[in-house]
Each structure stands twice: as C-alpha cells, then as structure tokens.
Structure 1
Amino acid sequence: MTQYVLVAGAWLGSWAWDEVVAELRAAGHGAHALTLSGLADRRDEGRETPIDQETHVQDIVGAIERLDLRDVVLVGHSYSGIPVGQAAERIGDRLARVVFVDSDVPADGKSFASGSATLEASIAENGGFWAPLTAEEYEGQGLDDEQIARIVAGSTPHPGASLTGPAKLDRPLGELPATYIKCLLDWPELPPDVAELMKSDKWRLVEMNTGHWPMFSRPEELARILLGA
C-alpha cells in the first residue's frame, strides 16, 4: 500500500486536501494530509517561538517517522514544495516519490521570499505574517464562487519566518525521484529552476489545464495523477 503524505501551500491546512484524500483512500491507499505549524487548526502554535523553515520541514519528517510510514509519495503544493523537497531527502528509503504540485522547489541557501522585497515588506507590515489572498485574487484560476469562498474562509495568516528562512539541501534535488505538476492557467511556463531539474532522468512533468489550486478545482484529476505517480 502506498502512503500519500500531502502538504498544502501558504495559508492552508490539511482540510484543503479533503476531496483528494477521499479519492486516494477509495483506491485502497493510505492518505495523510498535514497541517504545518502556525496554520489552520495549528494557528495558535508558535506565538512565543517563531515558526521558521526548519519547523515546517520537521513537521513533515516527524509525522512520517511517528506514523512509521513507508513507500511514501510526498506531495507539496505551492509554498510547501520547499519544505517537502527538504523532507524528501531526509526520510531516506521511506520515500517512493516526491510530487510538486505547481510549487516552488528548494534551493540550498535560498528562501521562498528570496529576491522579493515586496513580500518581505508585506510580512513586516502584517506583524510577521503573510496575509491571505482576497476572493478577487483567486479569479481566473478555474475556481467557482463556492470554491473561492471555501478557500478564503479557511485561510489563515502564514508565519513569515518560514518564508524568509533558507532551505538546506545535502544533495542535488535532481537526484530524487520526482514528478512536477504544472497548472497551466496560473502560468504556462515552467520556472527556470524547475526547467533545469527536468533535465534529470528521475524527474517527469505532468500538465493540468487548471489554475494554481487543483485540489479544489480538479480534485479527481489530481488524485488520478497522484495514483499514477
């Protein structure tokens, strides 16, 4: 039995994967959606000690080890591709494959916010958190009004230190068995760092004709892709 471990992007929690989890379990596999520290039902954590990038990496590694999961397909969406990519190399032979869903990927010494003075300023202006998007900012992403309302209602401010802290990799990311899912409505071209990783014979590309949040807009299709991974 494959064990899927799913981590949503900024502002979201485990609830974002509800429909995908149901599809994976119906196919006979294990599915474990995680909420990272400081978000959703864990939003009150870290009020005294800042939640940084390493905190989120340890959230993922710790859950996999605590549940003693093996044959793991580790899935990261958007921001969470950065901690997921780091966790993937730390769990060793527990990993079957890592899947990046329209996500950022970690680069040693760089952060999610690297090169974005606007994001860093926004975090500073919002008390150390990245404020969630408004409903209008989800338009054009293949989402209907009900789906947008659900995302907006469930979003929580994202701990800023996790976005500005550097990733730490011990070996090249291209050495991991990986699938990258590109959502074409968001932006049809691969980020340059992902295009470079695609030169590895261990990486493959899958495209979805939807926006940046396919767990809401196309959950059944996304689940089928994950099952194929």
Structure 2
Amino acid sequence: MTAEQIVLLGGLWLGASAWTGVAAELEKSGRHAVSVTLPGQGDGNLSATLADQVTAVLAAVDAGPGRSVVVGHSAAGTLAWMAADARPERVAKVVLIGGFPTGDGQPYADFFEITDGVMPFPGWGPFEGADAADLDESARRAFEAAAIPVPEGVARGVVRLRDERRFEIPVVVVCPEFTPAQAREWIAGGDVPELARAKHVDLVDIDAGHWPMVTRPTELARILAAV
C-alpha cells in the first residue's frame, strides 16, 4: 500500500479549522488531507478522554484507501505516535511539528492548571519568546478567541504504547521554534526516549514559531507534501 492521505492533528486548544490553509495547499499539490476534529476540541464534548481522541484518529486512518502519513502538532505528536503504535501496518510515516511523543504510562499533556474540568489556554506568558514571536497582536487575539479549553480527561489521560513495530515507522520532526541541531541533541541525550529508539528520524527546519500552520501554512504544506 502507498500513502494515500495526510491526517492532520492539532495540538492543545486547536480545532480542525487550524489546518484550513495547510489543507488547501496540500490539495492544490494533489495530496489528500484529512483534518481530524478531536473529541473535546471542537465538538463541545467536555467529557472527552484521551482514548476518545485516539479512537477518532484511528477512525481517520482506517477510513483511508491505503496507508496514511499522520501529522501531529505539539502535544498531538503523541497522538500521532499512538496511532502508529496501534496501526503500524497502516501508518506510512509520522510527522511531528514542534513536539515529541510522550512515553508509555505518562500523562498526555498535563501542562497547565485545570479549571472546572478543562485546561483553558493559559495566555501568552508561557509562550513568550521564540514560540510566539511571529504572531502579531491581531493574530494573538484571533488565536485566543478560537482557543478551545482541553478536557481534563484528555490532558491528564495516560499514554499507552504496546507495539514495538512503531519504531520501524519513519519519523519526520519539523522544527519551528527550535533548531534541528537542538532536536538532535535532545534525542541523543535521552530527553526523547521514543525517538531515540526510532530507526528512521529526519529533521526539517521551518522558520516559524510554535504554530506554523497559522503563520506559515504554505511553507508547512510544502514540507508535508514532500514527506
């Protein structure tokens, strides 16, 4: 089977519409893109769990006519990796944008305070510097207005990885707010155990902050089409 579709997974607080520009560019280049609405991130389901999100991703992978390239942004890089673990025969490649997969038994994305059962966008304080340097004030306001609080059952869900065939699947790390050299150092230094065990890891630079689908959709689509 050849790779027939590119499955796009948004990170925390992002709905499927975050990929609109990228998906349009991919379609222009003849690639079929599927932007997944993750449960709890766009469907109003505040009781959604990490398992629900994995189920939605696998449904998209299984619906494809062949194998899929699964793209995970930020925390959703772990979702992409979990899909590879669950469907190693149907995932042709994993692309990680600005993030790395969490290991088995670890919480998915327990990064910020939970309030009333959800993890709201914490404001720009944690992202000052390279993460948000390419977002102007209007872009920041638009991001905040669209940000979807992540259900606690997603953020604090426990990652489960079982099939070591995932390490045979090629991985591409797209490096926005950090450099390929930094990523290589983190992997070699043991900070990213899952990728340290992966057999094929390529690193691609993109001159962007943490959300290149917002600020560099054409360039990001070009990279995804090439992989």
Q: TM-score range by the shorter chain?
A: 0.7 to 0.9
Q: 1:60 aligns with which of 27, 44, 57?
A: 57
Structure 1 stretches lacking a partner, 5+ long? none
CA separation of 1:136/1:187 partners in 2, compared to 1, >3 Å: closer, same or farther?
farther
Corresponding residue for 1:7?
9
- C-alpha separation in 2, matches of 1:86 and 1:20: 23
Question: What residue in structure 2 maps to residue 202 of structure 1?
Answer: 200
Q: CA deviation at 1:29?
A: 1.2
Under a length normalisation based on structure 1, what TM-score does the superposition of the two structures give?
Answer: 0.84
Aligned with 2:102 (options 93, 106, 123): 106
Distance 2:80 2:197 in 1: 20
Paired residue type of 1:71:
R
**Counterpart residue type for residue 184 of structure 1:** E
Alpha-carbon offset, residue 84 of structure 1: 1.6
Matches of 2:198 and 2:149, distance apart in 1: 36
State the one-letter code of the partner of 2:200: K
What does residue 228 of structure 1 align with? 226
Are residue 166 (structure 1) and residue 158 (structure 2) matched?
A: yes
Distance 1:160 1:188, change over 3 A: farther
Conserved 8 A contact 1:8-1:16: yes
Match of 2:137 in 1: 145
Give SS of 1:92's match: coil
Alpha-carbon separation, structure 2, partners of 1:188 and 1:112? 25
Amino acid at match of 1:106: T
1:188 Cα deviation after fit: 7.7
Rounded to whole Å, the distance in 1 between the matches of 2:32 and 2:126 is 33
* 1:129 matches 2:118: yes
Letter in 2 for 1:128: G
* Aligned match of 2:20: 18
Amino acid in the other structure paired with 2:148: T
1:157 aligns with 2:149: yes
> In 2, are the aligned partners of 1:185 and 1:209 still within 8 Å (CA)?
no
SS at match of 2:192: helix
Conserved in 2, the CA contact under 8 Å of 1:181 and 1:208?
Answer: yes
Aligned to 1:89: 85
Give, in whole Å, the separation in 2 of the partners of 1:185 and 1:144. 19
Instruction: Assess if the C-alpha contact under 8 Å between 1:185 and 1:210 holds in 2.
Output: no
Q: Displacement, 1:195?
A: 7.4
Q: Tell me the CA shift for residue 135 of structure 1.
A: 5.3
In 1, Cα distance between equivalents of 2:141 and 2:56 = 28
- How far 1:146 sits from its partner (Å)? 3.0
User: What is the deviation of 1:211?
Assistant: 0.8
* CA-based RMSD: 2.5
- The count of aligned residue pairs is 216
Alpha-carbon distance in structure 2 between the residues aligned to 1:91 and 1:174: 12
Question: TM-score w.r.t. structure 2 length?
Answer: 0.84
Structure-2 change in CA distance of 1:218 and 1:161 (3 Å)? same
Q: Distance in 2 between matches of 1:12 and 1:186?
A: 24
What does 1:7-46 correspond to in 2, within 5 Å? Answer: 7-40=9-42, 42-43=43-44, 45=45
Q: 1:205 to 1:185 in 2, by over 3 A?
A: closer
1:178 equivalenced with 2:171 (yes/no): yes
Q: Is the 8 A contact 1:89 1:176 kept in 2?
A: no
CA contact (8 A) 1:108 1:168 kept: yes
**C-alpha distance after superposition, 1:44-86 (max 9, x if no partner):** x2x4xx3222111111001222x33423110000111112211
Distance 2:218 2:147 in 1: 22
